[in-house]
Structures are given as C-alpha cells and as structure tokens.
Chain A
Amino acid sequence: MLALTKKDLSLLLVVAVITLAAPIILNPFPSGSGMSQFNAGYPDLMQRFVIYGIFAIGFNILFGLTGYLSFGHAAFLGVGSYSAVWMFKLLSLNVIPAIMLSVVVAGLFSVLIGYVSLRRSGIYFSILTLAFAQMSFNLAYSVLTPLTNGETGLQLSLNDPRILDGASAATYPNLFGAQMNDSTTIALGNWSFTFSVGYYLCAILLLLAFYISIRIFRSPFGMMLRAVKSNQQRMNYTGLNTRPYTLAAFVISGMYAGLAGGLLASMDPLAGADRMQWTASGEVVLMTILGGAGTLLGPVLGAGFIKYFENIFSKINEGVLQAWFAFMPDGLQDFFVAIIYPFVGKGWHLTLGLMFMLVVIFLPGGLVEGGQRIGRMFRRKSRSETPDGKTTPAE
C-alpha cells in the first residue's frame, strides 16, 4: 500500500497513530495533580513538536543522506515565516496560499544559497551556510526593515489589504474558516484533552512530510545521496555528477524548512528575525543528531525530545523542587534542591548538553540506535530463555 514495504508502512502507521492521538497520549496525568506539569498535550507545545519535526525531517534529507552539514537552515525557516505573514497581510488569512508561498520562496532561496555553498564540502560548506544564514538574519533585522519590520517583527494589522478576504472573514489564520487557534476541550473525569485545529493541520502535514521522506530514502535518488556521503570520487568516476544531486537534496530540505516556517507563522501570525539566528540552525542539527541522523524516525524523535525539554524542564523552578523534597529533613532537602537546581529551570540547557554528550559518545546512531539496542536485548533474552527452559531441569 502507498508503494511502501510492510516495514515502512507499519512505521508510518505507528507515527500516524501517535501524532493523531497525541493530545491524549501526551496528557497522561490528571490536571491539577502534582505530575500535571509534565503533561505536554497542550496545542501550543504539540504544534511545536510537529513543526520542528518537519524541519528536522527535511534537514535529515540533506545531512543524514549526503553528510553535508548545513549550519544555516534557520534562514529558510525564517524566510518561510516572512512569506506566510506577507501572504496573510496581502492576500488572505487562509493558510493554504501562505504555506504554499513559504515552500516556494524557501525553495528559491535555497537554490541560491545551495548553488554557492555546495561548491565546497566539509567544514567549508558548513561555514558558508552559517555565513549566509547570519547575513540573512542581519538583513532581516536591519537593512530590509521595510520588508521584515526589523526588530519588532512582521505582524498582522487592521489596515492590511487582504484582498481576497471579505469584511466578515476570520481575523486569525484559518483553513476555510476554521481558525488555527480554535480548539475543543474534552474533560474525562480528572483528565482534560484539548484538540485544536492548528495542531491537526500540522500533524497531517507532518505525516505527509514523513511519507515523502520515506519515499526519498527508498528511491534511487536517495541511494545516490548516500553514495555521495560514502565516496564522491567513485561517483564522479562512475559517470555521476554529484553537484545536482547535492543541490536537489539541499533544495528539498530548504523547502521542508520553509514549510515549517510557514506553519509557525500560521499558528501564530508573526515573524521575527530571531527565527533565523544561528542558534536556531544549531538546534535542528542537535535534533537530528540526538534522534539519529540518517534514520527515518530519528529527527522526529529528536525534535520532540528537545522541544519537550525546552518547555517542560524549564518550568521546574526552585519552589517546585522544594515541594518534591519536602518529605525529607530540612538539611537534606536543601542539599538535594541545591544539587538538582542547576539542571532544571533556566539550567535545562545543561541537562540537554549532558544528554547530547552521552548520546554522541555511547549511541552514535542517536536515540533510534538506543531503541534498537534495547529491542535487540529483549529479543536475545527471549530467545535464550526458551532453550534454557528446555534444558534446565524443572524446578
């Protein structure tokens, strides 16, 4: 089905079930309970999981397959956001034209940057992309103020022409009237689950993006991209021109970034220059490596992981910690709080950094490799248990 092998199809189905049921799965704790701060099932955060998942899937097509490490992909994310907001201002608050324009503009922009940067490989390529992204950031921040509204960021305003929208049209980005911030909350006992329009739009686009990525991985084109990573010399002497292959991968991943940028702007219609900053480019690199570069699922996992940390761990402040260790005697309580405090709240980067180091050192294949190892351990155990059971005398 869908021209996928059984294994890929089941992977896609698992991802589909998890994303579509995420508002339930991510809210395992009853609201109001002490653990409810670990719930991630609110629309704002779930949208970010999925949007950055799309961003990382695209980045992985470039980095995971060809090995070209771009440090400037946030530029395409930013360009996508600006394009979408302009579309909202000028044409219509319907998200479809906005998202389409983000993908196209980011694609064109990445042709330009890719064409120049791909003349070099390795560290020089990374530096070139970084330079281009910083240039874009500075342009957006100051020089191109008429286009980007500089420091303040591009926002919607009441005087926007919006030529396709009538007077009665929705005032928030919408899909044929269904506003992105519309949501329904269903309460089940102590639990409450929020289903939002915006999240489901993002989720469906994530599934589409994931499906296309599987198809690319399994195509002759994907095989050529892995060949580029493996041995460019052999490629050239086998009659293959590596340049268009790498450029195509670069543009595809740029378009994914543009889609992510357009979605960010659709969920919250403003675009700021800081979305293009190098830290944002670095973040997608971290996501991809943490999850497992070159694997299908890795980037999505990595994106979810980092966004969860960023939003949940950073909320644990000293008061919360004090409450956790309240059962201990005073001295011990202060001691534990003092030790853990630097790693949570504002210090969540420290935990993330440590985890990143552990993953890179012990699991070069990322979280996906970790999962595979655990899976193998269980399989080995169950296999060795069966013959053991037969040979050892009954107890």
Chain B
Amino acid sequence: MAAVQETVEQVRRIDVEQYKYGFVTDIESEKAPKGLSEDIVRFISAKKNEPAWMLDWRLDAYRRWLTMREPEWARVSYPKIDYQDLYYYSAPKKKPELASLDEVDPEILKTYEKLGIPLREQELLAGVVRPEGERRIAVDAVFDSVSVATTFQKELQEAGVIFMPISEALREYPELVRKYLGSVVPTSDNYFATLNSAVFSDGSFVYVPPGVRCPMELSTYFRINERNTGQFERTLIIADKGAYVSYLEGCTAPQRDENQLHAAVVELVAMDDAEIKYSTVQNWYPGNAEGVGGIYNFVTKRGDCRGDNSKISWTQVETGSAITWKYPSCILRGDNSSGEFYSIAISNGHQQVDSGTKMIHLGKNTSSRIISKGIAAGVSQNTYRGQVTAHRKAAGARNFTACDSLLIGDMCGAHTVPYIEARNPTAVFEHEATTSKISEDVLFYCIQRGLSQEEAVGLVVNGFVKDVLQQLPMEFAVEAQKLISISLEGSVG
C-alpha cells in the first residue's frame, strides 16, 4: 500500500472513531418546556433571579432575533434547524443551597473526573503526584445550562479577581455586568449571538481589577449532557487597566445521533495596558464516521482592545463538532494595541469547519498577527475565513497573516478566504497562504529512521502545527497534542 494511502487510512481513524468523551451522565435534570418563546425567555430570567433590566435586555434580543435570518455565507451545510424542537434550559436538579463542593451531585463530580477536570481544590492543593512546575487552575464547570462548581473562588477574591458564573455575577455585581455585557458583541450582532443574548443560561464572568495579574489560570469546562438541548453560554472577561489574565476553555459532549446546537458568545474587554490570553481546546462530539450526530458549534467570540497598549490573544485548537462556525476577533481600538489569533483546525470524517478571525484596526500603530493551520482529512471541508481591516485613522497598522493547509486524502477540501481591506496608506499588511500535502519523501525519510507510518505522520503533523501549539498554556498544549493524536514525547527546542 502506498504510504499516502496508509496515511489516509491512519488519519481517517484519528478522532471521529476515537471520541473518548462520548459517555452520558445519568442524572435527573430540570428543563424548561421545549421550544422558544417570550415565556421561555422569561422562564430563564426568572430561574436566574435576574434584575428587571436583564429581562428587558433578553426580550429585546429575542424580538430582534425573530426578524433576523440565519447566515448562509459560510461554507457549511446542514439541514434547517428547528428552533422550536430544542430545550433552551436544562439544569441538574440540586438542593436549593450549595454549601460546598461535597453537595454537588456525585454523578457530576464523576463526570468531570472522567473528563480529567479537577474540581476538588483539596486534592489539587495536596499536590498528589503533580508534575513539577504545573500551575494551579481555577475551574468553572458548566454542565448543560448551569455552572455546577467554581473552584479557588476564595483565593481569587483575595487577589481582587472576580471569577464566577455569570448568573451569579448578575446578582452580585449587576452594575459591573451591565456596563460591559453586550458592549463588544451587541445583541443585534448576528443571528446566533442575538439568539444567545435572549436565552443564554450561564457561563463565566471574570473581572480583573487595575494592576492585578491574575494569580492563576482561569478556566471553564463546558459539558453538554442532556438530549435535544442547546447550550448557550455567555462569557464576559474584563481586564481593567494594567491587568493580566489567561483563560482556558474546554468542551465535550456525549455521543448522540442527533445534532445539538451550541451558540455561545464570548466578550473580552482589555483596558489600557491590559492583556487577555484566551485559549480554547474545542472537542465537542464530532458525529460518527457516517456524519450522523455531532455538535453545531456556532460561536461568536470577540475581544475589544479598548485601551491603549492593550493586547488580546486568541489561541484555539478545534478538533471537534460536526460544524464549527467561529471567528474569534479583535477590535484594535486603543492606540498601540495588538491582537493575535493562533489556530489549529482539524477536520475529519464529515466535519465542516469554517473558522478564522477578524482584526479590525481602528487605533494608531495597532498590530495583529494571524497564524492558522488547517488540516483536512476524510470527507471533511476545512475553511479559513479571515478579515483584516485598517480604518482611515489606523495609521501605522500592521498585520501579518500566514494560513497553511494540509490535505490528507483526496476526498476532503481545504479553503482559504481572506479579506484584506486597507483604508490607510501607512497600513502594512502581509498575507500568505499555502496548501500542500505531507510529502511521501519526508514520510519515507522518517520511516527509514525507524518510525512507524503513524509516528511519522504524527511527527510531521506536529511540526506543521507547532507554531500554534507553542501558544497554548502548557497543560492545554499537552491535551491538544494528545488530541491531534501524536506521540511526541517531551519536545525540546
């Protein structure tokens, strides 16, 4: 068998067949009635004990959503979604007040254990066999529509950092939330973001006060468990002047043969001299080898470099979901602000990925950098779609973009669709893109040195995505590397 053919076979098996997180947690849950209406929006708002303005905000979004049309410009196709056939709220039944983690349903704890997400601070703190240098991570665990646990809250509080479910923040810090919510992604932004604004049920809220460097990595772990349930989480992160925070996001879902909708909104605000680093390892269930089931991942993520010298960096490893539609973007409003987008998008089986970024240069001397690595295998379609714009006043704007695609097998497609718009002569934009395959000669060279076919492919693919992997916090890089199915033990250099 020709090497390439073997490669194709090998990669075909990579993740679609080996989705390890496809189990279902058997737990009693409380749901809103199926379907979407003003009553459902009111139901969700009431469940969360929200202030009146929040309900109005939601209703306003809902009414607007009714007038909008689902976007069709992305290179993805799927049967029409019946928005009335979904549950918009599902929460594990629990006791009214949760005094400690011990009261979290053991089934849920087990779920997160199985997923490898540490929810028990004590165990973490006890440091049972912790690799040297491993940092502590505070976790907010979102299970279907609600946050079930948030760790390290106390320690974070001491540092002045607010990290809690957004539903809680709406009650405890309503003015802070009100000030920023929807200020980056307005309720009218796009079909899925508007839907999210109407029905979002939970998500994380982070506020890092001026001058504070968040003492640990923050992370949210999203899990969809319930059947026929949409997940609509909302994340809002604010780094005030001179603050720094690194935030990680992970997601998985059970293996089910129907498609499930995930329409999240993430808003980041970086004030003067602040920096936000946002990393995602997206591993929603991708559907089976025949393309049945899987998550529709329609996500709006946007960061606003509102202050001068601010910086927002997005890193994403996209391996899951039947359809991925997301464009984590940066509005470079402050002078000298900078935005980064590092992406690895792997599609296999029948997956469809249409992902990229927007870098909107508004301020002076703003800079942006885009590194995108797409790998298409199976019968998947993998599109990079990106926009770089310099507005009239964006003197000295700089962008560098490199998009590389790797095709494995001749049944898949890899596409690159950049939009480069310069309205200022001093803006310097450089864009390059390549599409290629793994060279037979390189594979043979590796194999001659004793690597198996799989190891050789793994090695080459790993080299291909290395620039992006290096951007991930260490713990995530390891998980990502495993996801990319690669045996690269302890790389040096």
A in complex with B: no
Interface residue ranges, A against B (CB under 8 Å): none
